[in-house]
Amino acid sequence: MNERVSAACPSPPPPGRAWGISPWRMAVLGLVILLCGMVIGAAITARVARRAIVHAATHPEEMPARAAERLAARLDLTDEQRTQVEEILRRRLASLAALRVRMRPRLDRELDALDADVSAILDERQQARWHRDFQRLRAFIQPPLPAESPSPADRPTDSPGDASQ
């Protein structure tokens, strides 16, 4: 009778051999899973950070209050100090926005020249890819000015295939 029971129930695998996989295979599998998680996490973080940066650049009216709140918490500011900091930020950021508007034509000329200079040495296939990639880069380094901000319905959406191109 004991022989029938032991034949029906296999003995447990030796230590370190769960599911019949060697310890080295288990370690490699764990490392692959870890690396996949890191890549996915980094991609999501980059996407969220990019959207936050673009939002902050295209909605400067929100920044003084948000920055003053953060500074109040970090520096333990009084309500009066927080109000003063917010007003200083509002004034200085408006000045920086005006500077950005004044510099925009010069930046546009430089970016246009860069685009033309690189395009001049590329063949047609390379130019098509360059223009697509350069427009994406240009939109990132030079987001629309607040008055130019597209409505949410008009904003381009990134398709999953765009990240690899």
Distance CA 69, CA 151 (A): 27
- The interaxial angle of helices 79-120 and 124-141, nearest 10 deg, is 170
Q: What is the DSSP string of 93-159?
A: HHHHHHHHHHHHHHHHHHHHHHHHHHHHTS-HHHHHHHHHHHHHHHHHHSPPPGGGPPPTTTS----
Write out the chain's pLDDT in tens, 165 residues. 555 555 566 666 565 555 677 888 889 999 999 999 999 999 999 999 988 888 877 777 888 999 999 999 999 999 999 999 999 999 998 898 888 889 999 999 999 999 999 999 999 999 999 999 999 989 878 877 766 544 444 444 444 444 443
